[in-house]
Amino acid sequence: MIVTRFAPSPTGHLHLGHAFSAFNAWRRARAAGGRFLLRLEDIDPGRCRPEFGAAIQRDLGWLGLTWDEPVRVQSRHLAEYQAVLDGLAERALAYPCFCTRADIAREIAASAGAPHGPDGAVLYPGTCRCLSSSERADRIAAGERFALRLDMQAALRSAPSYPALWYEEDGEGRIACRPECFGDVVLARKDAPASYHLCVTHDDTVQGVTLVTRGADLKPATDLHRLLQDLMGWAPPRYAHHRLLTDTAGRRLAKRDKAMTLDALRAEGVSARAIIERFG
Ligand code: GLU
C-alpha cells in the first residue's frame, strides 16, 4: 500500500507552491488507492502558530485534498523525539554543544579554509565535540543552554550501510548519499526541542510513509535523512522530489508572496478547481 504525506510547517498561510506539493502527495496516494496523511511540523515554537495549522486544514479541505486521519502534530510527540535523541547520545553519536553563534563565528575566523555544507553555510568547527564528560556535566548542571549535535564521523563509523548508502528516487533510480557534507549537524536546538531532520525521519517511519513527495529544495537533505534512518534501523521510504513553482520572474514562491496564498486567491474569486487544473 502506498502511503504519502504532506508535512507543512504552520508558520504562515499556504501558497500555491504548498498546494502543488500537497496535490502531488494526494494524487500519488489516491491514484494507487493508498493513504494520504497530513502532518503539521510545528516543532519550532518561535515560528509556528496553531491558527496557521487550522488554516492549512481549511485550505486543503477547500482544495478537495482530503487526508486520512489522524493529523499528526509534532509538538504533541516531543517525548518520542527526546527518546531518539537520548538513544543517540547514549551511543556517543550526539553531543551537547554550548557554542553561541558568536563563538562559532570566532572559531571559524581563526581557522583556515572552513568547509561549507549543502546549504552554503559554514560547517560547525567541532569545538564542543572534544569536551570531557565532566566538563559537559558541569556546564549542564550550571544551567548552560545547549544544542545537541550529531557527531558525524562517529555516526558514519556506526551506520551499517555507509559508505554504500543510497535512496531510491522516482524516475532516477538509486542516488548515492554523502551525508558527511553536513558535518556535525544540529539535532536539537537550544530553543527548539528537536530538529526538522530528526522529526521528519522519525515521523515518516512511525506513520508508515512509503513514498516521500516533497519539493526539490529538500532533496539534498535526503542524504542526511538516510543516515539517520540507517543509524536507527528505520526502513527507508522511496522519494519523489518535485519541481518548485516559480513566479513570473522565475523566483520560487515563498511566504513573502502574499498574493499567491490560497486565502488571497480565494478572496479574488479563483476557484479550487482552477488551481488544481493548473497543476494537472
Ligand atoms: N516541513 C517541511 C517544510 O515545510 C517539509 C518537510 C518534508 O516534506 O520533508 O518545508
State pLDDT tens for residues 14-64: 999 999 999 999 999 999 999 999 999 999 999 999 999 999 999 999 999
Gap from CA of 203 to ligand 1 centroid (Å): 12
**pLDDT score of 267:** 94
pLDDT above 90 (res 260): no
Does the beta carbon of 200 sit less than 6 angstroms from any atom of ligand 1?
yes
Q: Are residues 27 and 144 in the same domain?
A: no
Could you identify the atom of ligand 1 that is nearest to the CA of residue 5?
A: 8
Residues 99, 228, single domain; the answer is yes
Beta strands in the chain (DSSP E): 3-6, 35-40, 68-73, 94-97, 147-150, 166-169, 173-176, 186-188, 211-215, 238-242
Mean pLDDT of 138-156: 98
Q: Is 18 in the pocket of ligand 1 (CB under 6 A)?
A: no
Number of domains in the chain: 2
Q: How confident is the model at residue 143 (pLDDT cuts 50, 70, 90)?
A: very high
In this structure, are 48 and 89 located in the same domain?
no
Cell of 33: 488507492
Does the residue 159 lie in any domain?
yes
7 CB less than 6 Å from ligand 1? yes
DSSP 245: P
User: Global pTM?
Assistant: 0.95
Would you state the pLDDT for residue 112?
74
Residue 212 in any domain: the answer is: no
Examine residue 11 and state whether it is found in any structural domain, yes or no. yes
Q: What percent of the chain has pLDDT over 90?
A: 86
In ligand 1, the atom with minimum distance to the C-alpha of 213 is 8
Q: Does residue 33 share a domain with residue 107?
A: no
More confident position, 192 or 198 = 198
How many whole angstroms from its chain centre is CA 56?
18
Q: Give the position, in ligand 1's atom list, of the atom nearest the Cα of 217.
A: 10
Give me the domain span that covers residue 18.
1-76+246-280
Q: Is residue 197 located within the same domain as residue 98? A: yes
CATH of the domain at 256: 3.40.50.620
- Is the predicted pLDDT of residue 99 greater than 80, yes or no? yes
